[in-house]
Amino acid sequence: MKQLENLTDETLEELTKTGKHMFLFTASWCGDCRALAPSLPEIEAEHPDYDFISVDRDKFMDLAQKWQIFGIPSFVATKDGKEIGRYVNKERKTKKQVTDFINTLPQ
């Protein structure tokens, strides 16, 4: 999974303008994020049509606020520059829940 290292509105627009992306908002201190971490390589492998990008919510708080990320881990899917779905809440997420979310997204 790629790590978002730096961010401006221009780099985010350039990154997302074509293709399908899955943004995972996380933080190093997040227990629910650590619980999900072992499943992430499988989730990513099962959905090769998405470019998975990990976003440290604490490092990129402006983006988290702009995208209304209220809990972590949270997922935001984009396609060709437009948001197509989100799985954002304060609950712990399982591999099945994340996979079910991805499978409901428009192709």
- What domains can be seen in the chain, in order of their start residue? 2-101 (3.40.30.10)
Considering the candidates 33, 40, 63, 102, report the single residue annotated as catalytic: 33
Q: Examine the residue annotation and report whether 33 is marked as an active-site residue of this protein.
A: yes
Q: Which residues contact 80 (CB under 8 A, 6 or more apart)?
A: 17, 18, 19
Would you say residue 72 has pLDDT above 80? yes
Considering the candidates 30, 40, 69, 98, report the single residue annotated as catalytic: 30
The pLDDT tens digits of the residues spanning 11-20 come to 788 888 899 9
Cα-based angle 76, 79, 84 (whole degrees, multiple of 5):
50
Say what the pLDDT of residue 76 is: 95
Would you say residue 4 has pLDDT above 80? no
Q: Examine the residue annotation and report whether 73 is marked as an active-site residue of this protein.
A: no
Q: Which residues contact 105 (CB under 8 A, 6 or more apart)?
A: 77, 84, 85
Mean pLDDT of the 62-66 span: 88
Alpha carbon distance 102, 107 (integer Å): 10
Answer whether 76's CB lies under 8 Å from 25's CB. yes
